[in-house]
Amino acid sequence: MQSDITKEFKTITGSLSGKIINLPNVNKAPMPAVADSGFVLNGEPCTGIEIINFPGLPDSRSYNKKFALLIPFTNTVMEHELWSIILNNQNEGGLNGVGLHTVNVEIPKPHVNNETELLQFKEQFINGLNKAVVQASFAQPEYLIMGMSLEHILYGLKDVQSVMNDIEEKYPYSWATWQDAADASLKKYKAKRIAIISPFIKEGNSNAIKMFEDLGYEVVVSFGFACTNLVDIAHIPDLAKEEVILKYLATPENHIDAIVQCGTNMSMINVSEKLEPIIGIPIIGINATLLWYGLRENGFTKPLLNSGRLLREF
């Protein structure tokens, strides 16, 4: 069963992608609809309220933009990081009135200890993603954020794009996806040589390298924390990430233009804020970058604080 998604849309042009974005009219009058009997006071119809037929009012908390965030149900980090960005930027003209409706993608067996389990996870995630989009549609979001490193489970850009193309053909939504957001952010810095840091095992890292090479980047060095369970990813300490970046990635001999972090259950905002001034190159963290892409595509142009260089500078 799928919600009755409105067939009325307005269109905008994404400022980063140049794509036409269809935004469903989620505030179509009457919104909220009121029963024929009208308001009720002590169990009886109440006629003393002037506004009965609402003209089409926005969500009281997500009145500027209602995003749906789709994440694996093992993910405890991404929603927290995105809300921290939103709540830290409630200044005038900032992200006041921007909200997230989070839907979990069900994954029966969240283990990725070897290549076989990675392939099993791939099938589970794609099946769960379709169900999650349907569930998200009941909240009538305007735009969707893919809270998953699809390159973790898919080999190369074509495979990643194929999965997303199938989803976009089925459902009338536009998406912020990692392959688009990462590419747009790296282009802002004119980066060519990159380092990758991830929570992935060897096969997942190989997949990530392939996607970024397909996008046209040279992956100079990569590091994976080789987590065997998706829940474990959230437990990687910031000090370990900092050590990897300083010791293995942002070294003079590597001559990299940017560090790219994959894996949405791996927190990176605080690490980015701390290390970017020290190493002098941007750290493109997946969570902040996905929100940045969705916001910029939807016309939010103000610099955002406490979220890394990318959101502050572009």
> CA-CA distance, 171 to 141, in Å (whole number)?
12
User: Do 168 and 203 belong together in one domain?
Assistant: no
Beta strands 44-46 and 39-41 are antiparallel
Tens-place pLDDT, residues 75-134: 999 999 999 999 999 988 899 999 999 999 987 766 666 777 777 777 788 888 989 999
Ramachandran angles phi, psi of 149, nearest 5°: -80, 90
Assess contact for 256 and 262: CB atoms under 8 A: no
- Say whether both 143 and 34 belong to one domain: yes
| DSSP β-bridge partners for residue 22 | 11
**Residue at a domain's end among 179, 201, 219:** 179
Residues 189 and 293 in one domain: yes
Structure tokens at 219: 């992956």
Q: What's the CA gap between 125 and 24, in Å, rounded?
A: 26
Domain boundary at 154, 179, 204, which?
179
Cα separation, 80 vs 288, whole angstroms: 11
- The CATH number of the domain where 189 resides is what? 3.40.50.12500
Does the residue 304 lie in any domain?
Answer: yes
Nearest residue to 108 (alpha-carbon basis) of 133, 75, 73, 134: 73
| Domain end among 141, 160, 179 | 179
Q: Indicate whether 164 and 226 sit together in one domain.
A: no
Distance of CA 272 to the CA centre of its chain: 17
Q: Are residues 156 and 188 in the same domain?
A: no
d(CA 144, CA 22): 11
Provide the pLDDT confidence category of residue 7 given band limits of 50, 70 and 90. low
36 and 146 in a single domain? The answer is yes
Write the CATH number for 113.
3.40.50
Residue 155's domain comprises 9-179
Q: Which of 21-30, 136-145, 207-216, 217-226 has the lowest mean pLDDT?
A: 21-30
Q: What is the pLDDT of residues 205-216, one digit of tens each?
A: 999 999 999 999
Query: Stretch 133-145: mean pLDDT, rounded?
Result: 95
**Structure confidence at residue 39 (pLDDT):** 86
205 and 235 share a domain? Answer: yes
Residues 231 and 285 in one domain: yes
> Pairing mode, if any, of strands 175-176 and 98-105?
unpaired
Q: Are residues 124 and 186 in the same domain?
A: no
4 within a domain of the structure (yes/no): no
In the chain, how many domains are there? 2
CA–CA distance, 122 with 222 (Å, rounded to integer): 22
Could you tell me the pTM of the whole model? 0.93
Q: Is residue 139 part of a domain?
A: yes
Do 84 and 122 share a structural domain?
yes
